[in-house]
Structure 1
Amino acid sequence: MNNNILIIDDEEAIIELMDIYLTNEGYNVYKAYNGKSGLEILSQNDIDLVVLDIMMPGIDGLQVCKIIREDNNIPIIMLSSKSQDIDKILGLGIGADDYMVKPFNPMELIARIKSQVRRYLYLNKSNNQNHSNNIITVKGLVINKNNHKVTLYDELINLTPTEYKILLLLASNLGTVFSTEEIFEKIWEEKYFESNNTVMVHIWRLREKIEGNPKEPKLIETVWGVGYKIED
C-alpha cells in the first residue's frame, strides 16, 4: 500500500514539482495551497507525512503545525525561505520533525521524506505485538513499545515520532551517556555536522513534556561536555 503525503504550500510550482517526484517514487500526493485546506484534507484522509511551508497567507505553517500536533503524531517536514538558526529552532520547537530551507534539492527532500516515513511506520508496525519486555518503566515513566504510548504517573504524554525515538533510545540504555552526535546519527540516520542544534531542541521539547521543571531535569540528565542519559 502506497504512503500518503500531504503538501501544504501556497507556491503552486513547488507543489507541482514535488508531486512529480513523489508520484515517481510511488507515493500518493495530496495538495493544499493554504493552511485551512491542508487541515481539512488531513482530517478527511489517512496521511502518513506532511510537508508544510511556514510562510503562507491566512493560517501560517507554524499555526498549522501547532494544530496538527494537538492530536496527531505524523511526521512533519517544514519548508521555509528563512535560513537563520532561530527560525529552525522555532519550527522544531513547536513540533516539526525536520526543516528544510528554500530553495532545496528535491531529491534531498525525497530522501528525508523516506527516512521520516520509514521511522514512523517502524514505530507503528508492532502495535499487535504483546511481549512483557516491551514495557519500560523508570521513575514513574512508562514506555509501552507495543502501542508506542508513553505515560508519566498514569498520565498520557503526547510525543512526536522523533521525540519517542529519542526517549526510547535513552530509556532502553539506562545509565549510558549518548553524545549529541550519537543521538543524531542513530535517530536521523544522517551524518552529524557541527553547530547542528536539532538534538538540543528535541531534548528541550521532551523535557517540557516529561519533567516537572525542564530547567532542573530529573529524568533526562545532562552530562556536561558529554551528552545525555536516563538513570534507573
Structure 2
Amino acid sequence: MKLQQLLLVDDQPEIIELMTDYLEASGYTIFTASNATEASQWIAQERIDLILLDIMMPGEDGFSFCKRVRERHTMPILFLSAKESDADKIRGLTIGADDYIVKSASPAEIVARVKAIGRRMSSIDDIERSVIPGVKVDERAMEIKMEGHLLDLTFIEYKLFMYFYEHLAQVLTYEQILNRVWGHDLYDYQNIRVYVARLREKLSPYSHIVQLHNIRSVGYKLSEATNDAK
C-alpha cells in the first residue's frame, strides 16, 4: 500500500496553504477542507489515504469528526492542533487518532511523521498467515481475525498488534515499540500505554487465545494463552 492522497482539514487558510506547499513538494496529492462537512464530501468522492485533522473548527469539531470517520474507515488520522495539553492528546489518541502533532511543530517535522506512516504502509506484504490457532492475519487487507471475528483496529493498533505478533513471547521495550510502530521517538510512554490499553480491550474477548502482558518499567509482551486459559 502506498500513501498518495492526503486530506488536510483546517479552518485557517494560512495553515492550509503552508502545509499544502510542503506536502505537495514531497509528492503527495492534497485535498483541503475547512470543516467536517467539506471533509466528509472528499472522503465520499476520493480515495483518501491519510487525514491531517484540526480540532477547533466551526461546526463539528475534530474530535467528533474523528470518531465518526472511525466508524467506517481505517485510514490513518493525524491530529494537527494548537491544543497542547496531555488531556487533549490522550483524548485524541483514545478516540482513534494515529498521531497527535501540535501546530508549533515545524512543517518539516509534520511531513516527516506523514512519511513515517507512509513507509509503514508501503512495507505491508500481500500475505495471509496464521501463527497461533484461531488467529488469522491478512496483511494485504490489514485485517486481524480471532476465531473468524474481524477485530475493529485503527492503523496504529494494527501495526502495534503485528509488531507483538511477529515477536511472539518476546519482551519489547518502550523504545523498540516507538521506533518500530511510530518510526520515531517523539512520543512519550504514556501514549504507548493509551494504545496498548485500547488494543488489550479489543483483545479481551479472546484472552483464551492470546494475552498481552505488561512488563513493569520495561515494555510489553504478547503470548499465546496457556492451556489453563484455554
CA contact (8 A) 2:214 2:221 kept: yes
Map of 2:213 onto structure 1: 221
How far the C-alpha of 1:109 sits from its partner, in A, is 0.5
Contact 1:35 1:60 in 2 (8 A): yes
Change (3 A) 1:2 1:113: closer
Q: Deviations over 1:160-187 (max 9, x none)?
A: 2211111111112221011122111111
CA distance 1:74–1:153, shift in 2 (3 Å) = same
Do the aligned partners of 2:3 and 2:49 also contact (CA within 8 Å) in 1?
no
Q: Tell me the distance in 1 between the aligned counterparts of 2:186 and 2:78.
A: 18
Give the one of 190, 193, 215 matched to 1:197: 190
1:116-144: CA deviations, max 9, x gaps?
A: 12222333xx33x4xxxx41343643223
Match of 1:106 in 2: 107
* Identical amino acids, percent of aligned pairs: 36
Q: Which residue of 1 aligns with 2:65?
A: 64
- Aligned-partner Cα distance in 1 for 2:109–2:42: 25
Q: Which residue of 1 aligns with 2:204?
A: 211
Residue aligned with 2:205, SS: coil
* Residue deviations 1:19-52 (CA, integer Å, cap 9, x gap): 1111211211101000111011011101111100
2:137 — aligned with what? 143
Q: Secondary structure at the match of 1:50?
A: strand
Instruction: Tell me whether 168-177 or 146-155 shows the greater mean CA deviation.
Output: 146-155
Q: Are the counterparts in 1 of residues 5 and 48 from structure 2 also a CA contact under 8 Å?
A: yes
> Taking structure 1 as reference, are residues 52 and 223 closer, same or farther at Cα in structure 2, changes over 3 Å only?
same
User: Secondary structure in 1 aligned to 2:97?
Assistant: coil
CA RMSD, Structure 1 to Structure 2 (Å): 2.2
Matched, 1:47 2:48: yes
Q: TM-score of the superposition, structure 2-length normalised?
A: 0.88
Q: Counterparts of 1:9 and 1:34 in 2: how far apart (Å)? A: 7
Distance 1:2 1:65, change over 3 A: closer
Structure-1-length-normalised TM-score: 0.87
Is 1:156 the counterpart of 2:150 in the alignment? yes
Structure 1 residues 74 and 146 mapped into 2: Cα distance closer, same or farther (>3 Å)? closer
- The offset of 1:2, in angstroms, is 7.8
Unaligned runs of 5+ in 1: none
One-letter identity of the residue aligned with 1:212: P
Q: Confirm or deny: 8 A CA contact 1:75 1:120 kept in the other structure.
A: no
In the TM superposition, residue 77 of structure 1 has moved relative to its aligned partner by 0.8
Letter in 2 for 1:191: D
Structure 2, unmatched stretches of 5+, are 225-230
Q: Which SS does the other structure have where 1:229 is aligned?
A: strand
CA distance in 1, matches of 2:164, 2:123: 18
Q: Distance in 1 between matches of 2:18 and 2:204?
A: 42
For 2:184, the aligned partner's letter is E
> Which residue is equivalent to 1:169?
163
1:212 partner SS: helix
User: What's the secondary structure of 1:231's corresponding residue?
Assistant: strand
Alpha-carbon contact 2:146-2:206 (below 8 Å) kept:
no
Instruction: For residue 159 of structure 1, give the secondary structure of its aligned residue in structure 2.
Output: coil
Is residue 81–residue 101 contact of structure 1 (8 Å, CA) maintained in 2?
A: yes
1:119 and 2:112 correspond? no
